[in-house]
Amino acid sequence: MENPAKKNNDGDQFFKVLTPKEIVCELDKYIIGQDQAKRSVAIALRNRWRRQQVPKELRDEIAPKNIIMIGPTGVGKTEIARRLARLANSPFIKVEATKFTEVGYVGRDVESMVRELTELAVNMAKKAEEEKVQSKAWELAEDRLLDLLLPRKKEDQRGEEAEEKGKTLEVVKAERAEAPSTREKLRRMLKDGKLDERYVELEVTNSNVPMVEIFSSAGLEEMEFNIKEVFGNIFPGKKKKRRVKIPEAMEILMQEESQKLIDMDKVIGQAIRMTEQNGIIFLDELDKVAGAESRHGPDVSREGVQRDLLPIVEGSTVMTKYGMVKTDHILFIAAGAFNVSKPSDLLPELQGRFPIRVELDSLSMEDFVRILTEPKNALITQYRALLATEGVELLFEEEAVREIAAMASKVNERTENIGARRLHTVMEKLLDQISFDAPNMGSQSVTITKKYVAEKLEDILEDENLSRYIL
Protein backbone atom coordinates (compact mmCIF):
# COMPACT_ATOMS: atom_id res chain seq x y z
CA MET A 1 0.00 0.00 0.00
CA GLU A 2 1.77 3.15 -1.24
CA ASN A 3 2.04 6.20 0.93
CA PRO A 4 0.61 9.07 -1.18
CA ALA A 5 2.73 11.55 0.76
CA LYS A 6 5.78 10.18 -1.05
CA LYS A 7 4.42 11.07 -4.50
CA ASN A 8 6.29 13.81 -6.33
CA ASN A 9 4.44 17.09 -6.42
CA ASP A 10 6.97 19.34 -8.11
CA GLY A 11 6.22 22.21 -10.42
CA ASP A 12 3.81 24.13 -8.20
CA GLN A 13 6.21 27.03 -7.70
CA PHE A 14 7.97 26.83 -11.07
CA PHE A 15 5.69 29.04 -13.11
CA LYS A 16 5.49 31.92 -10.65
CA VAL A 17 8.68 33.60 -11.87
CA LEU A 18 8.63 32.87 -15.60
CA THR A 19 9.82 35.61 -17.93
CA PRO A 20 7.35 37.01 -20.50
CA LYS A 21 9.08 35.05 -23.25
CA GLU A 22 8.76 31.81 -21.28
CA ILE A 23 5.09 32.55 -20.51
CA VAL A 24 4.39 33.00 -24.24
CA CYS A 25 6.21 29.71 -24.98
CA GLU A 26 3.99 27.92 -22.45
CA LEU A 27 0.84 29.47 -23.94
CA ASP A 28 2.00 28.45 -27.44
CA LYS A 29 1.69 24.80 -26.39
CA TYR A 30 -2.09 25.17 -26.14
CA ILE A 31 -3.13 28.23 -28.17
CA ILE A 32 -2.47 28.79 -31.86
CA GLY A 33 -1.70 32.35 -33.04
CA GLN A 34 -2.86 35.47 -31.16
CA ASP A 35 0.76 36.52 -30.49
CA GLN A 36 -0.08 40.08 -29.43
CA ALA A 37 -2.64 38.92 -26.86
CA LYS A 38 -0.15 36.41 -25.44
CA ARG A 39 2.51 39.13 -25.14
CA SER A 40 0.12 41.45 -23.31
CA VAL A 41 -0.99 38.89 -20.72
CA ALA A 42 2.60 37.69 -20.27
CA ILE A 43 3.73 41.24 -19.45
CA ALA A 44 0.75 41.72 -17.08
CA LEU A 45 1.64 38.51 -15.24
CA ARG A 46 5.34 39.39 -15.02
CA ASN A 47 4.43 42.86 -13.70
CA ARG A 48 2.82 41.17 -10.71
CA TRP A 49 6.13 39.57 -9.81
CA ARG A 50 7.94 42.88 -10.45
CA ARG A 51 5.53 44.70 -8.11
CA GLN A 52 6.45 42.32 -5.29
CA GLN A 53 10.12 43.25 -5.72
CA VAL A 54 9.75 47.04 -5.41
CA PRO A 55 10.00 48.87 -2.04
CA LYS A 56 6.98 48.34 0.18
CA GLU A 57 5.93 52.01 0.24
CA LEU A 58 5.64 51.99 -3.58
CA ARG A 59 4.19 48.50 -3.92
CA ASP A 60 0.62 49.41 -3.04
CA GLU A 61 0.67 52.37 -5.43
CA ILE A 62 1.27 50.20 -8.52
CA ALA A 63 -2.11 49.26 -9.99
CA PRO A 64 -2.56 46.14 -12.14
CA LYS A 65 -2.64 46.73 -15.90
CA ASN A 66 -6.09 45.37 -16.75
CA ILE A 67 -6.68 44.12 -20.29
CA ILE A 68 -9.55 44.20 -22.79
CA MET A 69 -9.35 41.46 -25.43
CA ILE A 70 -11.39 42.28 -28.53
CA GLY A 71 -12.27 39.54 -30.97
CA PRO A 72 -15.02 37.20 -32.23
CA THR A 73 -16.07 34.12 -30.29
CA GLY A 74 -13.92 31.01 -30.45
CA VAL A 75 -10.55 32.64 -31.18
CA GLY A 76 -8.94 31.86 -27.80
CA LYS A 77 -9.79 34.75 -25.44
CA THR A 78 -11.02 32.56 -22.57
CA GLU A 79 -8.35 29.92 -23.14
CA ILE A 80 -5.55 32.51 -22.90
CA ALA A 81 -6.86 33.78 -19.55
CA ARG A 82 -7.45 30.27 -18.17
CA ARG A 83 -3.99 29.01 -19.16
CA LEU A 84 -2.41 32.15 -17.73
CA ALA A 85 -4.05 31.49 -14.36
CA ARG A 86 -2.74 27.92 -14.37
CA LEU A 87 0.77 29.12 -15.13
CA ALA A 88 0.65 31.55 -12.22
CA ASN A 89 -1.12 29.05 -9.93
CA SER A 90 -3.62 31.85 -9.28
CA PRO A 91 -7.28 31.76 -8.24
CA PHE A 92 -9.25 32.29 -11.47
CA ILE A 93 -12.92 32.64 -12.30
CA LYS A 94 -14.78 33.45 -15.48
CA VAL A 95 -17.99 35.50 -15.24
CA GLU A 96 -20.31 36.92 -17.88
CA ALA A 97 -21.03 40.63 -17.47
CA THR A 98 -24.59 39.97 -18.67
CA LYS A 99 -25.30 37.96 -15.49
CA PHE A 100 -25.11 41.16 -13.51
CA THR A 101 -27.82 43.76 -13.56
CA GLU A 102 -28.26 47.12 -11.98
CA VAL A 103 -29.34 46.98 -8.34
CA GLY A 104 -33.14 46.95 -8.35
CA TYR A 105 -33.37 44.66 -11.37
CA VAL A 106 -33.38 40.88 -11.07
CA GLY A 107 -29.83 39.56 -11.23
CA ARG A 108 -26.62 38.87 -9.36
CA ASP A 109 -24.63 41.30 -7.31
CA VAL A 110 -21.28 42.24 -8.89
CA GLU A 111 -19.52 41.60 -5.56
CA SER A 112 -20.44 37.90 -5.83
CA MET A 113 -17.56 37.35 -8.27
CA VAL A 114 -15.07 38.42 -5.59
CA ARG A 115 -16.75 36.10 -3.07
CA GLU A 116 -16.52 33.20 -5.52
CA LEU A 117 -12.85 33.99 -6.20
CA THR A 118 -12.16 34.00 -2.44
CA GLU A 119 -13.97 30.65 -2.03
CA LEU A 120 -11.81 29.19 -4.78
CA ALA A 121 -8.65 30.57 -3.14
CA VAL A 122 -9.63 28.99 0.20
CA ASN A 123 -10.03 25.60 -1.50
CA MET A 124 -6.62 26.01 -3.20
CA ALA A 125 -4.91 27.02 0.06
CA LYS A 126 -6.59 24.17 1.95
CA LYS A 127 -5.46 21.65 -0.65
CA ALA A 128 -1.89 22.96 -0.43
CA GLU A 129 -1.95 22.63 3.38
CA GLU A 130 -3.35 19.09 3.11
CA GLU A 131 -0.39 18.14 0.92
CA LYS A 132 2.03 19.54 3.53
CA VAL A 133 0.53 17.50 6.38
CA GLN A 134 -0.09 14.42 4.25
CA SER A 135 2.89 12.51 5.58
CA LYS A 136 1.99 13.14 9.22
CA ALA A 137 -1.70 12.41 8.56
CA TRP A 138 -0.71 9.12 6.95
CA GLU A 139 1.24 8.05 10.03
CA LEU A 140 -1.60 8.99 12.40
CA ALA A 141 -4.19 7.26 10.22
CA GLU A 142 -1.98 4.17 10.08
CA ASP A 143 -1.76 4.08 13.88
CA ARG A 144 -5.53 4.44 14.21
CA LEU A 145 -6.06 1.62 11.72
CA LEU A 146 -3.62 -0.62 13.59
CA ASP A 147 -5.58 0.12 16.78
CA LEU A 148 -8.71 -1.16 15.02
CA LEU A 149 -6.95 -4.28 13.75
CA LEU A 150 -5.11 -4.96 17.01
CA PRO A 151 -6.87 -3.24 19.93
CA ARG A 152 -4.43 -2.25 22.67
CA LYS A 153 -4.77 -3.57 26.19
CA LYS A 154 -5.99 -1.22 28.88
CA GLU A 155 -2.58 -1.41 30.54
CA ASP A 156 -0.96 -0.24 27.29
CA GLN A 157 -3.29 2.73 27.03
CA ARG A 158 -2.69 3.65 30.69
CA GLY A 159 1.03 3.39 30.09
CA GLU A 160 0.88 5.76 27.12
CA GLU A 161 -1.23 8.26 29.06
CA ALA A 162 1.30 8.16 31.90
CA GLU A 163 4.18 8.74 29.47
CA GLU A 164 2.45 11.77 28.01
CA LYS A 165 2.20 13.27 31.50
CA GLY A 166 5.92 12.79 32.04
CA LYS A 167 5.55 9.85 34.44
CA THR A 168 7.21 6.46 34.17
CA LEU A 169 5.63 3.17 35.08
CA GLU A 170 8.37 0.56 34.85
CA VAL A 171 6.01 -2.35 35.42
CA VAL A 172 3.75 -1.36 32.51
CA LYS A 173 6.76 -0.76 30.27
CA ALA A 174 8.01 -4.26 31.00
CA GLU A 175 4.63 -5.75 30.10
CA ARG A 176 4.61 -3.80 26.81
CA ALA A 177 7.96 -5.14 25.65
CA GLU A 178 6.42 -7.99 23.66
CA ALA A 179 3.58 -6.01 22.06
CA PRO A 180 5.53 -4.05 19.42
CA SER A 181 6.61 -7.20 17.56
CA THR A 182 3.01 -8.14 16.65
CA ARG A 183 2.07 -4.55 15.93
CA GLU A 184 5.10 -3.95 13.69
CA LYS A 185 4.42 -7.20 11.85
CA LEU A 186 0.87 -6.00 11.19
CA ARG A 187 2.21 -2.60 10.09
CA ARG A 188 4.46 -4.25 7.50
CA MET A 189 1.58 -6.33 6.18
CA LEU A 190 -0.52 -3.16 5.92
CA LYS A 191 2.19 -1.34 3.95
CA ASP A 192 2.70 -4.32 1.63
CA GLY A 193 -1.03 -4.40 0.81
CA LYS A 194 -1.55 -7.88 2.26
CA LEU A 195 -4.52 -6.68 4.33
CA ASP A 196 -6.32 -4.83 1.51
CA GLU A 197 -9.15 -7.38 1.33
CA ARG A 198 -9.91 -7.26 5.05
CA TYR A 199 -12.82 -5.29 6.46
CA VAL A 200 -12.82 -3.01 9.49
CA GLU A 201 -15.64 -1.22 11.25
CA LEU A 202 -15.29 2.56 11.36
CA GLU A 203 -17.29 5.19 13.19
CA VAL A 204 -17.85 8.12 10.83
CA THR A 205 -19.69 11.42 11.29
CA ASN A 206 -22.76 11.94 9.14
CA SER A 207 -23.24 15.71 8.94
CA ASN A 208 -26.27 16.01 6.68
CA VAL A 209 -27.84 19.45 6.91
CA PRO A 210 -31.51 19.94 5.96
CA MET A 211 -31.85 21.25 2.41
CA VAL A 212 -32.81 24.92 2.34
CA GLU A 213 -33.33 26.79 -0.93
CA ILE A 214 -33.26 30.56 -0.81
CA PHE A 215 -34.76 32.93 -3.33
CA SER A 216 -33.07 36.20 -2.57
CA SER A 217 -32.38 39.53 -4.18
CA ALA A 218 -28.90 40.58 -5.25
CA GLY A 219 -26.32 40.78 -2.49
CA LEU A 220 -27.77 38.02 -0.27
CA GLU A 221 -25.91 35.01 -1.71
CA GLU A 222 -24.00 34.64 1.57
CA MET A 223 -27.24 33.96 3.48
CA GLU A 224 -27.22 30.38 2.21
CA PHE A 225 -23.86 29.68 3.90
CA ASN A 226 -24.93 31.32 7.17
CA ILE A 227 -28.12 29.26 7.34
CA LYS A 228 -26.10 26.08 6.69
CA GLU A 229 -23.80 26.98 9.57
CA VAL A 230 -26.79 27.64 11.87
CA PHE A 231 -28.39 24.32 10.98
CA GLY A 232 -25.00 22.63 11.38
CA ASN A 233 -24.91 23.82 15.00
CA ILE A 234 -28.55 22.91 15.69
CA PHE A 235 -28.20 19.46 14.14
CA PRO A 236 -24.74 18.17 15.12
CA GLY A 237 -23.25 15.39 13.05
CA LYS A 238 -24.48 11.92 13.95
CA LYS A 239 -22.04 9.07 14.37
CA LYS A 240 -22.68 5.93 12.39
CA LYS A 241 -20.71 2.74 11.91
CA ARG A 242 -19.54 1.61 8.49
CA ARG A 243 -17.89 -1.63 7.47
CA VAL A 244 -15.27 -0.88 4.82
CA LYS A 245 -12.16 -2.44 3.30
CA ILE A 246 -8.73 -1.41 4.58
CA PRO A 247 -7.79 0.96 1.66
CA GLU A 248 -11.08 2.87 1.99
CA ALA A 249 -10.73 2.98 5.77
CA MET A 250 -7.24 4.41 5.33
CA GLU A 251 -8.58 7.18 3.08
CA ILE A 252 -11.35 8.08 5.56
CA LEU A 253 -8.98 8.14 8.54
CA MET A 254 -6.35 10.10 6.63
CA GLN A 255 -8.96 12.71 5.68
CA GLU A 256 -10.03 13.04 9.31
CA GLU A 257 -6.45 13.39 10.54
CA SER A 258 -5.64 15.97 7.83
CA GLN A 259 -8.56 18.14 8.98
CA LYS A 260 -7.28 18.01 12.57
CA LEU A 261 -3.74 19.02 11.53
CA ILE A 262 -4.77 21.96 9.33
CA ASP A 263 -4.96 25.41 10.88
CA MET A 264 -8.00 26.92 9.11
CA ASP A 265 -7.23 30.44 10.35
CA LYS A 266 -3.86 30.23 8.62
CA VAL A 267 -5.49 28.80 5.47
CA ILE A 268 -8.07 31.62 5.33
CA GLY A 269 -5.39 34.29 5.85
CA GLN A 270 -3.31 32.80 3.07
CA ALA A 271 -6.36 32.52 0.77
CA ILE A 272 -7.27 36.17 1.25
CA ARG A 273 -3.69 37.18 0.38
CA MET A 274 -3.81 34.96 -2.73
CA THR A 275 -7.09 36.55 -3.80
CA GLU A 276 -5.88 40.10 -3.25
CA GLN A 277 -2.40 39.70 -4.78
CA ASN A 278 -2.79 36.92 -7.40
CA GLY A 279 -6.51 36.69 -8.22
CA ILE A 280 -7.59 36.87 -11.87
CA ILE A 281 -11.18 37.64 -12.91
CA PHE A 282 -12.08 37.04 -16.55
CA LEU A 283 -15.02 39.31 -17.38
CA ASP A 284 -16.59 38.00 -20.58
CA GLU A 285 -19.22 39.63 -22.80
CA LEU A 286 -18.30 43.13 -21.64
CA ASP A 287 -19.49 44.46 -25.00
CA LYS A 288 -23.05 43.37 -24.11
CA VAL A 289 -23.20 45.96 -21.32
CA ALA A 290 -21.57 48.70 -23.42
CA GLY A 291 -24.83 50.33 -24.52
CA ALA A 292 -25.29 53.23 -26.93
CA GLU A 293 -26.26 56.75 -25.83
CA SER A 294 -29.89 55.80 -25.26
CA ARG A 295 -31.28 56.41 -21.76
CA HIS A 296 -34.35 54.19 -21.83
CA GLY A 297 -35.21 50.50 -21.90
CA PRO A 298 -32.47 47.91 -21.30
CA ASP A 299 -29.67 50.45 -21.82
CA VAL A 300 -30.38 51.94 -18.39
CA SER A 301 -29.59 48.55 -16.85
CA ARG A 302 -26.46 48.19 -18.97
CA GLU A 303 -25.03 51.44 -17.73
CA GLY A 304 -26.00 50.43 -14.20
CA VAL A 305 -23.92 47.25 -14.54
CA GLN A 306 -20.93 49.32 -15.60
CA ARG A 307 -21.39 51.67 -12.65
CA ASP A 308 -21.61 48.68 -10.29
CA LEU A 309 -18.47 47.13 -11.83
CA LEU A 310 -16.49 50.35 -11.59
CA PRO A 311 -15.72 50.35 -7.83
CA ILE A 312 -14.72 46.66 -7.93
CA VAL A 313 -12.30 47.23 -10.83
CA GLU A 314 -11.01 50.52 -9.37
CA GLY A 315 -10.38 48.90 -6.01
CA SER A 316 -12.75 48.51 -3.10
CA THR A 317 -13.31 46.24 -0.11
CA VAL A 318 -15.78 43.37 -0.40
CA MET A 319 -17.25 41.55 2.59
CA THR A 320 -17.01 37.76 2.28
CA LYS A 321 -17.76 35.05 4.82
CA TYR A 322 -13.99 34.72 5.32
CA GLY A 323 -13.45 38.41 6.01
CA MET A 324 -12.77 41.62 4.09
CA VAL A 325 -11.12 41.29 0.66
CA LYS A 326 -9.54 44.23 -1.17
CA THR A 327 -9.83 44.24 -4.96
CA ASP A 328 -7.12 46.86 -5.65
CA HIS A 329 -4.62 44.37 -7.10
CA ILE A 330 -6.89 41.72 -8.62
CA LEU A 331 -6.14 41.45 -12.36
CA PHE A 332 -9.23 41.93 -14.54
CA ILE A 333 -9.15 40.58 -18.08
CA ALA A 334 -12.25 41.67 -20.00
CA ALA A 335 -13.31 40.28 -23.36
CA GLY A 336 -15.95 40.83 -25.99
CA ALA A 337 -16.61 40.72 -29.71
CA PHE A 338 -17.41 44.47 -29.82
CA ASN A 339 -19.01 44.01 -33.26
CA VAL A 340 -22.06 46.17 -32.43
CA SER A 341 -20.60 48.40 -29.71
CA LYS A 342 -16.98 49.46 -29.22
CA PRO A 343 -14.74 49.96 -26.17
CA SER A 344 -15.29 53.73 -26.36
CA ASP A 345 -19.00 53.11 -25.62
CA LEU A 346 -18.06 52.06 -22.10
CA LEU A 347 -18.18 54.59 -19.29
CA PRO A 348 -15.04 56.79 -19.48
CA GLU A 349 -14.12 55.87 -15.87
CA LEU A 350 -14.31 52.15 -16.73
CA GLN A 351 -12.31 52.59 -19.94
CA GLY A 352 -9.51 54.18 -17.92
CA ARG A 353 -9.29 51.06 -15.75
CA PHE A 354 -8.48 48.88 -18.78
CA PRO A 355 -5.37 50.53 -20.23
CA ILE A 356 -4.31 47.60 -22.41
CA ARG A 357 -6.38 46.85 -25.54
CA VAL A 358 -5.62 43.79 -27.63
CA GLU A 359 -7.37 42.81 -30.85
CA LEU A 360 -7.45 39.09 -31.58
CA ASP A 361 -7.40 37.80 -35.16
CA SER A 362 -10.09 35.71 -36.78
CA LEU A 363 -8.98 32.14 -37.47
CA SER A 364 -8.13 31.02 -41.00
CA MET A 365 -8.26 27.52 -42.46
CA GLU A 366 -4.51 27.15 -41.86
CA ASP A 367 -5.07 28.02 -38.20
CA PHE A 368 -7.73 25.28 -38.03
CA VAL A 369 -5.23 22.74 -39.40
CA ARG A 370 -2.74 23.72 -36.70
CA ILE A 371 -5.42 23.67 -33.96
CA LEU A 372 -6.36 20.12 -34.96
CA THR A 373 -2.80 18.79 -34.73
CA GLU A 374 -0.27 21.00 -32.89
CA PRO A 375 -1.44 21.84 -29.32
CA LYS A 376 -0.83 19.41 -26.45
CA ASN A 377 -4.59 19.03 -26.12
CA ALA A 378 -5.26 18.97 -29.90
CA LEU A 379 -8.70 17.67 -30.90
CA ILE A 380 -7.28 14.80 -32.95
CA THR A 381 -5.10 13.75 -29.99
CA GLN A 382 -8.19 13.76 -27.76
CA TYR A 383 -10.30 11.61 -30.09
CA ARG A 384 -7.45 9.15 -30.67
CA ALA A 385 -7.03 8.73 -26.90
CA LEU A 386 -10.80 8.28 -26.37
CA LEU A 387 -11.14 5.55 -29.01
CA ALA A 388 -7.90 3.86 -27.94
CA THR A 389 -9.73 2.93 -24.71
CA GLU A 390 -11.92 0.65 -26.88
CA GLY A 391 -8.89 -0.80 -28.68
CA VAL A 392 -9.49 1.24 -31.87
CA GLU A 393 -6.47 3.00 -33.35
CA LEU A 394 -7.59 6.14 -35.16
CA LEU A 395 -5.33 7.44 -37.93
CA PHE A 396 -5.78 10.68 -39.87
CA GLU A 397 -4.29 11.32 -43.30
CA GLU A 398 -2.84 14.79 -43.78
CA GLU A 399 -5.32 15.55 -46.57
CA ALA A 400 -8.20 14.47 -44.34
CA VAL A 401 -7.11 16.96 -41.65
CA ARG A 402 -7.00 19.75 -44.24
CA GLU A 403 -10.46 18.76 -45.49
CA ILE A 404 -11.89 18.90 -41.94
CA ALA A 405 -10.37 22.36 -41.47
CA ALA A 406 -11.72 23.53 -44.84
CA MET A 407 -15.24 22.33 -44.06
CA ALA A 408 -15.24 23.96 -40.62
CA SER A 409 -14.08 27.19 -42.23
CA LYS A 410 -16.86 27.00 -44.89
CA VAL A 411 -19.58 26.45 -42.29
CA ASN A 412 -18.30 29.42 -40.27
CA GLU A 413 -18.53 31.58 -43.41
CA ARG A 414 -22.05 30.43 -44.34
CA THR A 415 -23.59 30.47 -40.87
CA GLU A 416 -22.53 31.99 -37.56
CA ASN A 417 -18.78 32.32 -37.12
CA ILE A 418 -18.03 30.55 -33.84
CA GLY A 419 -14.31 30.18 -34.47
CA ALA A 420 -12.45 27.06 -33.33
CA ARG A 421 -15.56 25.76 -31.54
CA ARG A 422 -16.84 24.77 -34.98
CA LEU A 423 -14.14 22.09 -35.12
CA HIS A 424 -15.80 20.31 -32.17
CA THR A 425 -19.16 20.06 -33.96
CA VAL A 426 -17.54 18.95 -37.23
CA MET A 427 -15.41 16.28 -35.51
CA GLU A 428 -18.38 14.94 -33.54
CA LYS A 429 -20.43 14.57 -36.73
CA LEU A 430 -17.50 13.03 -38.60
CA LEU A 431 -16.72 10.37 -35.98
CA ASP A 432 -20.30 9.72 -34.88
CA GLN A 433 -20.55 6.23 -36.46
CA ILE A 434 -17.09 5.10 -35.38
CA SER A 435 -17.72 6.23 -31.79
CA PHE A 436 -21.00 4.29 -31.77
CA ASP A 437 -19.53 1.07 -33.20
CA ALA A 438 -16.16 1.18 -31.37
CA PRO A 439 -17.07 -1.26 -28.53
CA ASN A 440 -17.94 -3.97 -31.09
CA MET A 441 -15.06 -3.33 -33.50
CA GLY A 442 -12.34 -5.09 -31.51
CA SER A 443 -8.69 -4.13 -31.84
CA GLN A 444 -8.22 -2.59 -35.27
CA SER A 445 -6.97 0.52 -37.02
CA VAL A 446 -9.29 2.98 -38.73
CA THR A 447 -7.86 5.49 -41.18
CA ILE A 448 -9.76 8.71 -41.82
CA THR A 449 -9.23 9.75 -45.44
CA LYS A 450 -10.19 12.84 -47.39
CA LYS A 451 -12.84 10.80 -49.19
CA TYR A 452 -14.37 9.63 -45.89
CA VAL A 453 -14.56 13.23 -44.62
CA ALA A 454 -16.22 14.38 -47.85
CA GLU A 455 -18.78 11.55 -47.76
CA LYS A 456 -19.75 12.16 -44.13
CA LEU A 457 -20.08 15.93 -44.36
CA GLU A 458 -20.84 16.78 -48.00
CA ASP A 459 -24.62 16.38 -47.75
CA ILE A 460 -24.81 18.67 -44.73
CA LEU A 461 -22.64 21.32 -46.38
CA GLU A 462 -24.79 21.30 -49.53
CA ASP A 463 -27.98 21.89 -47.55
CA GLU A 464 -27.39 25.21 -45.80
CA ASN A 465 -30.55 24.98 -43.71
CA LEU A 466 -29.54 21.52 -42.44
CA SER A 467 -26.00 22.67 -41.66
CA ARG A 468 -27.40 25.48 -39.50
CA TYR A 469 -28.97 22.87 -37.23
CA ILE A 470 -26.36 20.11 -37.33
CA LEU A 471 -23.10 22.03 -37.59
Phi then psi for residue 334, to 5 deg, are -100, 155
CB atoms within 10 A of CB 168: 9
pLDDT tens digit at each of 471 positions of the chain: 555 444 444 333 334 578 999 999 999 999 998 999 999 999 998 998 898 899 988 988 888 889 999 998 889 998 998 898 888 888 999 998 888 865 555 556 888 899 999 999 999 999 999 888 888 888 888 888 888 877 766 545 555 554 544 444 444 444 444 456 777 888 888 777 777 778 887 877 765 545 444 444 444 555 555 555 555 556 555 677 778 888 888 888 888 888 889 989 999 999 999 999 999 999 998 888 886 554 545 445 778 888 889 999 999 999 999 999 999 999 999 999 888 888 888 889 899 999 999 999 889 999 999 999 999 999 999 999 999 999 999 999 999 999 999 999 988 888 888 889 999 989 999 999 999 999 998 889 999 999 999 988 887 777 766 666 776
* Region 365-470: CATH code: 1.10.8.60
For domain 8-128+269-359, which architecture applies?
A: 3-Layer(aba) Sandwich (3.40)
In the chain, residues under CATH classification 1.10.8.60 are: 365-470
Look at the pTM and tell me if it is higher than 0.85.
Answer: no
Q: What are phi and psi of 150, to 5 degrees?
A: -135, 80
Exposure letters 260-296 (e unless 16+ CB within 10 A, then b): eebeeeebbebbbebbbbbbbbbbbbbbbbbbeeeee
Strand partners, 326: 317
Q: What angle do CA 153, 157, 161 make, to 5 degrees?
A: 165
CATH 3.40.50.300 boundaries in the chain: 8-128+269-359
Q: What is the DSSP string of 392-419?
A: EEEEE-HHHHHHHHHHHHHHHHHS---T
| CA dist., res. 92 & res. 100, Å (int) | 18
CA distance 399 to 66: 42
Name, in order, each residue with C-beta under 8 angstroms of 98's C-beta and a sequence gap of 6 or more: 285, 288, 289
Q: β-strand 199-206 against 238-245: which pairing, if any?
A: antiparallel
